[in-house]
Amino acid sequence: MEAEMKKFLVLYKSSTPASEMMARATAEQMQSGMEDWNRWAAIATNAIVDLGSPVGGSGTVGAAMVTSGDPEITGFSILQAESLAAVMKLLEDHPHLKTPGASSITAIEFLPMPGTEP
């Protein structure tokens, strides 16, 4: 019996905003970066639910506040795997880790919504 696949929100973070990275990149750098992403996507194809995209400005709403969002989040993907450890293994050589600035990747498991069918 196959293990149930879990879904994970993958957040790409960098000290350099995605819009700035794209504005500064030459056509050759953009092409090379996309080739790196496509190579990674080919390896991770069975895990990719949504390859995602770069993200820009954001905001946060709380009970007593409205603020700008986390400027370090530069993109997202949605992946599926049997475990968090399996997702982290897939992300070890991810091309985002080669982007300018202090780059990192965070994976967050989606939990089932109470009262809904699996």
User: Letter for the amino acid at 27?
Assistant: A
| Sole residue written with tokens 């700035």 | 20
Number of domains into which the chain is organized: 1
pTM for this model (two decimals): 0.86
| Pairing outcome for strands 48-54 and 73-81 | antiparallel
Q: Which domain holds residue 48?
A: 6-109
Q: Is the pLDDT of residue 1 over 70?
A: no
Asked if residue 1 belongs to a domain, the reply is no
Q: How many residues does the chain have?
A: 118
Q: Is residue 117 part of a domain?
A: no
Q: What percent of the chain has pLDDT over 90?
A: 65
In this structure, is residue 116 part of a structural domain? Answer: no
Q: Is residue 85 one of the residues assigned to a domain?
A: yes
Residue range 53-80: mean pLDDT, rounded: 83
What three-state secondary structure class fits 70? coil
Q: Please check the confidence at residue 2 and state whether its pLDDT lies above 70.
A: no
- Asked if the structure places residue 75 within a domain, the reply is yes
- The CATH number that applies at residue 35 is 3.30.70.1060
> What pLDDT, on a 0 to 100 scale, did the predictor assign at position 24?
92
